[in-house]
Amino acid sequence: MKHIAFAIPGDIDTPTGGYIYDRRMIQGLKDLGWQVDIVALGEGFPYPDAATLAFAQQALSAVPVHCPILIDGLAFGVMTEIVGQLAQTHQLIALVHHPLALESGLSDAQAKAFKSSEMKALAYASHIIVTSPATARNLIAEFEIPPHCVSVVLPGTDKAQASPDSAHERGHTDGVLRLLSVGSIVPRKGFDVLLRALATLKDLPWSLTIAGDRSRDVQASAQLDEDLDRFALHDRVQLLGAVSSAVLESLYQNADLFVLASRYEGYGMAFAEALAHGLPVVATTGGAIPETVPSTAGILVEPGDAEQFAQALHRLMTDRQLLEKLSSGARQAANHQPDWQQSAHLFSEVLQSFRV
């Protein structure tokens, strides 16, 4: 039987793109006949304390020598000594959603420390799986990873059918354009930029729903509340926090436009989901977003530029023909995306291609 240990930092049920990817790959591998042993590494990554590192080392050391270990990059990059020791007895695979040093809000010293740690740790990996070509290029160029050591396995999407009487059509009957933004409330997602942009468009009819975990960064969540007060947007913006998959599906179905001002994305699963639902996108060029959202499906601007973001929003709020054109482009782009079964098949093939 094909056998692998999948090491997960934190709670595997966390509602973020990285954890969703992990869960879907685990289930996909099982469906393909793999035995997948989940190894819990503990809480606190990528800032683990000594107790968490000791717990993680004990858990990983208990994996049988014959079994390869795949470790999520949220932990891999900060466990240099542990993976160095483990590499002597186990085949290690790193799953990198995006380099730790590229998280927004880090000081220069923190970013430098993350990059140094992750570069040293990744040198111990037998292979590295990433979720976008952009991340692969970054690791090869900036982390000195040989190209043959990196494989890209894009996230899948659940194919959604946009019906003629969908909310995208209904959204204009009352004259209000329904905006949707999905992402954890952290600095990298750029909600401060989004609200600054929307604050200049209060003369237009729109509403915004934000769905995303508010517990990951207390300061970013507080900043979001402050911005809502400062720009007097409470009557326009609904904050839902983390939501179930059923609620999220309903939100996509009832939206007219997907908006997210991310400063960087290793892939951007929420963008792919938006396209799958036929939603035009206003976003940024940060990281892998341009590879996920083609120009036929959305408008992308420079990260951090609230003025450009507002201009892009204004275009779509005032030009229904363009909105419909980009909606059609979104559905066409979605046809080129893999579904989760296809992604799991590729993931399995990658594992088997170098498995000892």
Q: Which residues contact 147 (CB under 8 A, 6 or more apart)?
A: 136, 140
- With contact defined as beta carbons under 8 Å apart, do 163 and 278 qualify? no
Identify the DSSP state of 339.
B
Domain interval for residue 31: 3-156+339-354
Is 118 in the same domain as 215? Answer: no
pTM of the complete model = 0.90
Same domain? For 317 and 172 the reply is yes
On whether both 322 and 347 belong to a single domain, the answer is: no
Question: Would you say residue 168 has pLDDT above 50?
Answer: no
47-80 per-position pLDDT tens digit: 999 999 999 999 999 999 989 999 999 999 999 9
Same domain, 299 and 220: yes
**Residue 193: per-residue pLDDT:** 98
pLDDT on residue 141: 96
Whether 345 and 199 map to the same domain: the answer is no
* Same domain (yes/no): 116, 178: no
pLDDT tens readout for residues 258-306: 999 999 999 999 999 999 999 999 999 999 999 999 999 999 999 999 9
- Burial label for 325, CB within 10 Å (0-12, 13-18, 19+), is middle
Q: Which tens digit of pLDDT belongs to each residue from 35-44?
A: 999 999 999 9
202 and 136 within one domain: no
The domain tally of the chain equals 2
My answer on whether 14 and 145 are in the same domain is yes
The answer on 185 and 330 residing in a single domain is yes
User: At 287, which CATH number?
Assistant: 3.40.50.2000
Same-domain pairing of 54 and 191: no
pLDDT at 173 over 80: no
Instruction: Give the Cα separation of 269 and 155 in Å (integer).
Output: 7
The first and second tokens of residue 105, run together, are 């809000």
26 in a structural domain? yes
In a domain, 161, yes or no: no
DSSP class of residue 143 equals: S
- The answer to whether residues 30 and 146 belong to one domain is yes
